[in-house]
Amino acid sequence: MLDFIKRYNSIKEIPNRNYEGYVWLSNEKKPFILPDVSFDFSTVEANPFVVEALLFDKAENKSIHVQHTGEYQIFEYDLQRIEESCIEKKEYLPHRLKDVKNVLFKQIWLPEEDENCAGFEVLKLKAIVFCGFKK
């Protein structure tokens, strides 16, 4: 795995830090927003479970993506470990997020040798990482 990505095996491993983002629980019709506050994932039980969460820790420049697809898929992206030249910023319209103008993401493009390009390095998309909201 790439050195800026860390995988968590359990939702209870997610650090209790201040996050901007959202958490969507299985018993809710829409997610609730975290406006740069902490959320204690150790309190999450089997039901209701977290369907999806996008979290950004501004202080540490880390993003966490949680998705439940029968089991949890949890990844943390350490954006401090990526050169700025490999990052492209993107903004998208929100869906079911009240008082949010845009959702901010960063695309991570890393050079990689490509046999279709005579072995030269080309930029390849490695991750699309949540980085907060524009309100």
pLDDT reported for residue 100: 92
pLDDT in tens, 65-123: 999 998 999 999 999 999 999 999 999 999 878 889 999 999 999 999 999 999 899 99
Res. 124 pLDDT band, cuts 50 70 90: very high
pLDDT in tens, 18-40: 999 999 999 999 899 999 999 88
- pLDDT above 90: percentage of residues in the chain: 84
* Residue 85 CB contacts under 8 Å (≥ 6 apart), including other chains: none
SS3 of 30-66: the string is: CCEEEEEEECCHHHCCCCCCEEEEEEEECCCCEEEEE
Domain count, the chain: 1
Task: Determine the structural domain holding residue 53 and report its residue range.
Answer: 5-134
- The pair of structure tokens assigned to 105 is 């993401």
Question: Per-residue pLDDT for 1 more than 80?
Answer: no
Name the residue type at position 59. Answer: A
Residue 107 DSSP class: E
Q: What is the pTM of this model?
A: 0.90
pLDDT reported for residue 33: 93
Res. 135 pLDDT band, cuts 50 70 90: confident
